[in-house]
Amino acid sequence: MRRKFPFVPILIFALLFLAMNGYAVSALARVVEASVLPWLWVFPMLLLVLFSFSLSRLSVDGQTNLFKISAHALLVYFVSLIVFVITTVLTDIYRLVIAGFSYISNSNFTHPERPINGIYLGILLSLLIIIVFIYGILRGKYAYRVIKHTLYFDDLPAAFDSFKLVQISDVHAGSLNNPKAVQKGIDLINRQHADLFVFTGDLVNNKAEEVKPYINHFAQIKAPYGQFSVLGNHDYGDYVKWENETAKRNNLDQLKKYHAEIGFRLLLDEHVAIEKDGQQIQLLGVENWGLGFGERGDFEKALKGTTTDDFKILLSHDPSHWEAQVKQHPSKVHLTLAGHTHGMQFGIEAFGIKWSPVQFRYKHWAGVKETNGRYLNVNRGFGFIGFSGRVGIWPEITLIELRRKRS
């Protein structure tokens, strides 16, 4: 599934971007030297050209330095531009209100010039955004957080009361560039002393070889009841050009071997019984199934051999699978663990606010959701891709404790 160059979306973005830039330049004309104003057009247009060119070569050349630099610079510039434009719009609304009152009282539609303080406020906020993004690029992408959930079930086998599992997702080893920082994340995983460890897909960006430098790191993860994994959409090598289909298949086969070398038991549309004190829960894992990202997984095959009364946990990379097939299935899956969204690596989760642009694609994009006693947890991801950083949505290690409800 090689992706075509998104010409129409890029064109729409470019027109919107340049229109916003023109609006910002008109506001800055009050406080910036006239000789500087042309550069406020040259720089963003150069960014657009470089990004568009490198994006058109992405499936051939991969993520080159040109792509990374232009994409990051464009993103930071665009977000800071949004903040400045919002500030300017608010000041222009104020000017329009003043003009309206002037017309009502004097029949003269006049409005004041843009207040300089408002322009300086916009510049200050934009600079703050740039600083925040620089932090996200330099430090935020490795600022691992442990997020804990305690989930209660009526029919959890008694032996598994207080059973703990750790989940990570979306390592994207091809993007990692700081082994010492990654090791801190591995150490944090092991300090949770979980009974079971699960990884919910996207070990690499495109090619199996990306994980080789980190095999010894992830091989340190151990849990008494095992380490299990599934594949994500990026693991199949769909987003790069291969010499032939054989090379692509060999890449996937090699990635499966790396899972085993790390110590992960890869579940491919199957299930295993986790036994404790003579009781069992069923751990299911499917190949990637996601709307728009390849519907490979066979949920029915993974269920085969289980019963409706079994307590079941499902590993499925894409949360859209839970919405489409799992949450209403006659055979109850008590807990589904997914990833994929990354929380878009950008958003706000503070002061009771939970927002990310990814919510326009996925209604539930992070944390726990419950429907009719069936839970879904979407992990925010351990690594990163595309944007080499995280702002507000930090890399996540999920610790889930299963508890049995008592009457």
pLDDT by residue (tens digit) across 346-389? 999 998 999 999 999 999 999 999 998 999 999 999 999 988 99
- The answer to whether 288 and 297 are in contact (CB under 8 A) is yes
- Residue 302: which of 320, 281, 283 has the closest Cα? 283
Dist. CA 57–CA 64, nearest whole Å: 9
Q: pLDDT at position 1, please?
A: 44
Q: Quick: pLDDT tens for 177-236.
A: 999 999 999 999 999 999 999 999 999 999 999 999 999 999 999 999 999 999 999 999
Q: pLDDT at position 62, please?
A: 67
- The answer to whether 166 and 398 are in contact (CB under 8 A) is yes
Q: pLDDT at position 9, please?
A: 85
Q: pLDDT at position 41, please?
A: 94
Share of the chain above pLDDT 70, in %: 97
Q: What is the mean pLDDT of the chain?
A: 93
- The answer to whether 339 and 322 are in contact (CB under 8 A) is no
In the chain, the largest separation of any two C-alpha atoms, in whole Å, equals 87
Q: Scanning the structure block, which residue is given the tokens 């692509």?
A: 248
Parallel, antiparallel, or unpaired for β 353-355 and 348-350? antiparallel
Dist. CA 314–CA 309, nearest whole Å: 15
Length of the chain: 407
Find the helix packing angle between 39-56 and 7-28, rounded to 10°.
Answer: 170
pTM: 0.87
Other beta carbons less than 10 A from residue 348's beta carbon: 12
Query: Does 3 have pLDDT greater than 80?
Result: no
Share of the chain above pLDDT 90, in %: 81
pLDDT band at 4 (very low <50, low <70, confident <90, very high): low
- The answer to whether 162 and 402 are in contact (CB under 8 A) is yes
Q: Quick: pLDDT tens for 56-79.
A: 887 677 678 888 899 899 999 999
Mean pLDDT of 91-103: 83
For 337, phi and psi rounded to 5 degrees? -115, 125
| Rg (alpha carbons) of the chain, rounded to whole number | 25
Mean pLDDT of 234-262: 95
Dist. CA 217–CA 235, nearest whole Å: 19
- The answer to whether 247 and 206 are in contact (CB under 8 A) is no
Q: pLDDT at position 109, please?
A: 64
